[in-house]
Amino acid sequence: MKTFVGIDLGSTTTKAVLLDENSDVIGRGITNSRSNYSTAARVASQEARVDTRFTLFRRALAGAGGLAGNLDEFLNALERAFRLEQFVEQLSDLEQTCLGHIKGERFATLESGVKEALGQVFARLREEAPELYAPGAKRKSDFFRDIAGSRYHVHAEEVARAASVPYDLLLNVYDKSIIDVENRPPEGNLSDKFRRALARVLTSDSSIRSTAAEIQKTIESVLDVDLEETYLVGTGYGRVTLPFSKEHIRSEILCHGLGAHMMYPRTRTVLDIGGQDTKGIQVDENGIVANFQMNDRCAAGCGRYLGYIADEMNMGLHELGPLAMKSERPARINSTCTVFAGAELRDRLSLGEKREDILAGLHRAIILRAISIISRSGGVTDEFTFTGGVAKNEAAVRELRKLIKENYGDVTININPESIYTGALGAAEFARRAFEGGSSTEATA
């Protein structure tokens, strides 16, 4: 089948979206951007293709018999099993890579000891892997680096102590290896991994054993479908080195505007507050960008500012909003200057101001900056769509609603939980349109 791929290379994460010919989203993928954009694009794209298979499984299984009422449960189990397969595959890759890095003077006398210790560490990791993907298990992140890294450190420390091998050597080997592994997407055959995952589910879940053959047949039929990458469009923050050829690149503003339009076709104004910039975008009824403005050189008031505040307060980023919501008397914060954020915060805390009041003031300050950027781009026209990491922050959203109401009256405000994919979605739609329109929607040159 034809698929249209949009990839958004962000400063911290890379997102991919796959569309079918009807502009329906069939897959999404996300990964950390690393220093290697080509890899990040490949990994995100592959993740989106994996996700696409699940969409197709769902479509096929919903029509076929054998899983009445248990479809969600089955697909969740299948996904966990698939993730486990991927994880185990990458663990093996990591182990091999680690072994390859045991060389040089530092290891002269310790080589065999380190090798043995590594073996034990990886055995433990493999052993506990199914637990990580058990139903209801919580993972701090879905990125291999995060999951493997935290567990590796725990086991390596124990093993090193027990085996009297220097812990830092084990860390050193890991640090050298993880970058390599991370920069190469899992290479194993995807269909095989799906098959192994299916086998795991079928053996563990007795309730569907009777219809196993039927399910297997349906899954195989989906795996037979070729996901043709019909057209790809990439976007990303002004990078000189986006890993796509020129005709496959669209500006992130355009992608973002179109993505917001795809999610909410009546959108006319889009606000995006990302980590390092804030954008105000005006789109027409077709999702075409009519005007836009971004924060000036000064990144005050962008998402990263909240990050500094969280660090300064020793809190998690996601804890800031809820605490700010508790404020009854928001402080007036006059500067959203990132450089002075810490100092101002300490000054205010030392004067006895409440944390929640300061935080509420900070959220308002950020939104005030955003409002000024929207104003530069031409104000707010109904409907209004708010995207980016800060759109997940309830205190920020509350201030935004208030200010929009005060300055622009009753306006529908859309916030999509999947708004992180807005740019990639727009890019994918650009890909679809580019294919559909042939050269006519392409640049005239």
Partner 1 sequence: MDASLNQANTAGIVARAQELFDDLSFTAAREWKAAKPGRKVVGYLPIYVPREIIHAAGMLPLGIVGGGDQLEVIHGDAYYQSYICRIPRSTIELGVSGRLDFVDGMLFPSICDVIRNLSGMWKMMFPGVYSRYFDVPQNYRDEIGGNYYVNELAELRHDLGELRGSPITDEELRASIAAYNENRHLVRELYAFRAQKPWQTPAAEVYLVLRAGLVLPVEEHSALLRDYLAAAQAEERPMRDNCKIVLTGAFCEQPPLNLIKSLELAGCYVVDDDLLLVTRWLTENVPLEGDPLQNLSHAFLHHSESTAAKYEPDEKEKGQHLVRAVTRAGAEGVIFAAPSFCDPALLDRPMLQHVLKDAGIPFIAFKYAENSGQMQPIREQAGTFADSIKLWSGA
Partner 2 sequence: MSTVIVTPKASPKEVLKDASMVKQKDMMAAHYDRLTNAPKTGAKVAATFVPGNLNELIMCFDLVNNLPEVNAIQNGLRRTSGGFVLEAEKIGHSEDVCTYVKSDIGMMAKGNLAPNGEKFPNPDVLLLSYTGCFTFMKWFELLREQYKCETIMLHTPYMGDGKVTPNMIEYMVKQLKEEVIPKLERISGVKFDIDRLREYLKKSAKAEDDLVWVLQSAKNKPSPIDAYFGGIYYIGPIFGAFRGTDDAIEYYKFLREEVAERLAEGKGPVTPDGDMGKEKYRLVVEGPPNYTNFRQFWKMFYDEGAVVVASSYTKVGGTYDFGFRHNPDKPLETLAEYCLGVYTNRSLPMRIDMLSNYVKEYEADGLLINSIKSCNSFSAGQLLIMREVEKRTGKPAAFVESDLVDPRYFSAANIKNRLESYLQMIEQKRASARAA
Which has the closest alpha carbon to 249: 231, 238, 233? Answer: 233
The label of the residue with tokens 């490949």 reads 42
Looking only at the bridges linking them, the beta strands covering 384-387 and 269-273 are parallel
Can residue 332 be called a binding residue for partner 1 (CB under 8 A)?
Answer: yes
Can residue 241 be called a binding residue for partner 2 (CB under 8 A)?
Answer: yes
Q: Pick between residue 334 and residue 441 the one whose CB is nearest to partner 1.
A: 334
**For residue 124, what are the CA distances in angstroms to 143, 151, 158, 193, 229?**
19, 9, 11, 22, 39
Cβ 42 to partner 2 shortest distance, Å: 6
Q: Pick between residue 142 and residue 247 the one whose CB is nearest to partner 2.
A: 247
Helical ranges in 133-166 per DSSP H: 144-163
Can residue 334 be called a binding residue for partner 1 (CB under 8 A)?
Answer: yes
Q: How far apart are CA 368 and CA 389, in angstroms?
A: 17
- Who contacts 381 (Cβ-Cβ below 8 Å, separation ≥6)? 268, 269, 282, 411
Cβ 425 to partner 2 shortest distance, Å: 17
- Among 132, 199, 313, 403, indicate the residue that binds partner 1 (CB under 8 A): 403
Q: How far apart are CA 231 and CA 53, in angstroms?
A: 18
Instruction: Report 71-100 residues binding partner 2 (CB under 8 A).
Output: none
- 368's contact among partner 2, partner 1, none, with CB below 5 to 8 A by partner kind, is partner 1
Can residue 405 be called a binding residue for partner 1 (CB under 8 A)?
Answer: no
Can residue 438 be called a binding residue for partner 2 (CB under 8 A)?
Answer: no
Looking only at the bridges linking them, the beta strands covering 13-19 and 2-9 are antiparallel
- Among 99, 163, 223, 294, indicate the residue that binds partner 2 (CB under 8 A): 294
Contact between 276 and 440 under an 8 Å Cβ cutoff? The reply is no
Judged by DSSP in three states, 5 sits in strand
Can residue 232 be called a binding residue for partner 2 (CB under 8 A)?
Answer: yes
Contact between 317 and 307 under an 8 Å Cβ cutoff? The reply is yes
- Among 54, 244, 384, 421, indicate the residue that binds partner 2 (CB under 8 A): 244
Span of 20-28, 124-132, 186-194, 344-352 interacting with partner 1 by CB under 8 A: 344-352
What order do you get walking across the sheet with 278-283 strand by strand? 289-294, 278-283, 269-273, 384-387, 413-414
- Among 155, 248, 268, 369, indicate the residue that binds partner 1 (CB under 8 A): 369
- How many residues form the binding site for partner 2 (CB under 8 A)? 40
User: Which residue(s) pair with 207 in the sheet?
Assistant: none
Can residue 191 be called a binding residue for partner 2 (CB under 8 A)?
Answer: no
Q: How far apart are CA 303 and CA 34, in angstroms?
A: 19
Span of 53-61, 96-104, 228-236, 398-406 interacting with partner 2 by CB under 8 A: 228-236
- Among 104, 131, 140, 297, indicate the residue that binds partner 2 (CB under 8 A): 297
Span of 34-42, 328-336, 362-370, 413-421 interacting with partner 2 by CB under 8 A: 34-42
Can residue 290 be called a binding residue for partner 2 (CB under 8 A)?
Answer: yes
Contact between 270 and 279 under an 8 Å Cβ cutoff? The reply is yes
Q: How far apart are CA 179 and CA 227, in angstroms?
A: 29
- 400's contact among partner 1, partner 2, none, with CB below 5 to 8 A by partner kind, is none
- Who contacts 399 (Cβ-Cβ below 8 Å, separation ≥6)? 363, 364, 366, 367
Can residue 443 be called a binding residue for partner 2 (CB under 8 A)?
Answer: yes
Can residue 340 be called a binding residue for partner 1 (CB under 8 A)?
Answer: yes
Instruction: Report 360-379 residues binding partner 2 (CB under 8 A).
Output: 376, 378
Can residue 268 be called a binding residue for partner 2 (CB under 8 A)?
Answer: no
Cβ 362 to partner 1 shortest distance, Å: 11
Which has the closest alpha carbon to 235: 224, 246, 227? Answer: 246
Can residue 127 be called a binding residue for partner 2 (CB under 8 A)?
Answer: no
Q: Pick between residue 14 and residue 327 the one whose CB is nearest to partner 1.
A: 327
**For residue 222, what are the CA distances in angstroms to 59, 140, 195, 300, 368?**
9, 31, 12, 49, 50
Can residue 360 be called a binding residue for partner 1 (CB under 8 A)?
Answer: no
Which residues of the chain form contacts with partner 2 (CB under 8 A)? 38, 41-42, 45-46, 229, 232, 234, 237-241, 243-245, 248, 250-254, 284, 286, 288-294, 296-297, 376, 378, 440-441, 443-445
Which residues of the chain form contacts with partner 1 (CB under 8 A)? 296-298, 300, 332-335, 340, 343-344, 346-348, 350, 368-369, 371-373, 375-376, 403, 407
